[in-house]
Structure 1
Amino acid sequence: MEDLVLNPNDLKIINQHIFEHQSMPGALLPLLHAIQDDLGFVPEIAYPLISKGLSLSVAEVHGVVTFYHHFRSHKPGRHILQVCRAESCQALGSEALENHIKNKLGVEFHETTPDGAITLEPIYCLGNCACSPAVMIDEEVYGRVDSKKIDQLISDLERAS
C-alpha cells in the first residue's frame, strides 16, 4: 500500500523537478519522466503538487500517468522485468513466456513479488524483433528468451537480491 505522505527527500526531488519544468511548454511529460527517473515511479500523492505547479487538474495528471504504460504510480521492486508484447514477440511465443513468468513469480503485470525483488511489466516493443521473444531486465535486453532462459535470468536476479 502506498504511503500517505512523501518522505522529505522525495518531496524535495519532486518540488525541484516541478520548479525546473513549470515554465516549459508541454512540461507534463518531461516532468513525469524526470520524477520517475529519480524515484522509480510517480507517487500518486504527488499529483496535486504537479497539478498545482503546472496549472493542470489532478485528473489531467492522473490521466497522463495512467495512459502511458511507461509510468508507474507505485514503487517498483528492486528489479524490473519487462516482457515485450509487440507483434513479432507475440508471433514467436511471448504470450506463453509471459504466462510462464507470471506462474513462476506468482504475480500479474504491474505487480511486485512479495519479497520486493521483481516487478513484472509489459512493454510494447524493445526493438529486438529479430531476436523475439525479448525481455528487458533493469535496462538490459535479452533475446530469444524461452522458459529455460527466463528461469535462469530470474534465478540470477533472486541470488543478486
Structure 2
Amino acid sequence: MAAQPLPMDPPRRRGADLAPAVAAAVRAALDAHRDRLGALLPILHGVQEALGYVPPESLALIAHELNLTRAEVHGVVTFYHHFRSAPPGRRVVRICRAEACQALGARALEAHAMRTLGIGWHQTSADGAVTLEPVYCLGNCGCGPSVLVGEDELHARVTPAAFDALVEAARTAP
C-alpha cells in the first residue's frame, strides 16, 4: 500500500498572523527602507519608532522580506541594547553609564534606581509607568550623573532624591 501524502496547509500570506498595527508598522518600515544597503537597522528603527518596540512575532516577516534568517534578525535585535522586544512603560528613563558619569556617582544612582523601582535594566516597573534603560553617553559629561527621561528631558547632577522626583513625575505624567 502506497503512503498517503500529508495534507498541505494552504499558503499563508506573510505577516497575516500579525496584529494589524504591527503588520502596518512593519510594512511601512520595509517599504521605506528595503532598497537601502544595510536595510535591516533602519527597518528595525522604523518599527520601534512606530510601536515603541520590535515585536518578536514581526521578525519572521522582516527576515523573509530581506532574505535573511529569523536568527540573523533576532541576533541584531538582541545585540543592540536600543531595541526592545516588549512594549516600554509610559516613560523611558535612561541613566548614563559612561565613564564620566560613573566618576560622578552614576553607579550609586543606578543601584538606587533599581532598588527604588524594583527592576533591572530593560525592565518596566510593576505599575507600567517606567522602563529603565542604560545609555552610554548623553553628551553631558561634566554634569553627571545624567538621566534622560523620555526622548528630550535631560537632567544633570541627578541625586537619588532628584531621581525619585523624576520617577514620581513620570508616574503621574499622561
**Is the pair's TM-score, using the shorter chain for normalization, greater than 0.5?**
yes
Structure 2 equivalent of residue 129 of structure 1: 141
Helix, strand or coil: the match of 2:134?
A: strand
Contact 2:94–2:147, Cα closer than 8 Å, also in 1: yes
Structure 2 equivalent of residue 141 of structure 1: 154
Structure 1 equivalent of residue 20 of structure 2: 8
Structure 2 equivalent of residue 157 of structure 1: 170
Residue 50 of structure 1 and its aligned partner are, at CA, apart by 0.5
Task: Identify the structure with the greater helix proportion.
Answer: 1
Instruction: Tell me how many residue pairs correspond in the alignment.
Output: 157
- Provide structure 1 residue ranges, at least 5 long, that are not aligned to the other structure: none
Contact 2:22–2:58, Cα closer than 8 Å, also in 1: no
Amino acid at match of 1:148: A
Larger radius of gyration: 2
Matches within 5 A, 1:58-73: 58-73=70-85
- Provide structure 2 residue ranges, at least 5 long, that are not aligned to the other structure: 1-16
Amino acid at match of 2:44: L
Amino acid at match of 2:163: I
Following the alignment from structure 1 to structure 2, what is the Cα–Cα distance between the partners of residues 6 and 135? 35
Following the alignment from structure 2 to structure 1, what is the Cα–Cα distance between the partners of residues 30 and 117? 36
RMSD of aligned Cα (Å): 1.1
Structure 2 equivalent of residue 99 of structure 1: 111
TM-score (norm. length: structure 2):
0.86
TM-score (norm. length: structure 1):
0.93
Residue 157 of structure 1 and its aligned partner are, at CA, apart by 1.4
Matches within 5 A, 1:48-63: 48-63=60-75
Moved more, 14-23 or 109-118: 14-23
Residue 116 of structure 1 and its aligned partner are, at CA, apart by 0.7
Following the alignment from structure 2 to structure 1, what is the Cα–Cα distance between the partners of residues 144 and 25? 38
Structure 1 equivalent of residue 4 of structure 2: none
1:75 matched to 2:92: no
1:120 matched to 2:123: no
Return the match for 1:30 from 37, 42, 55: 42
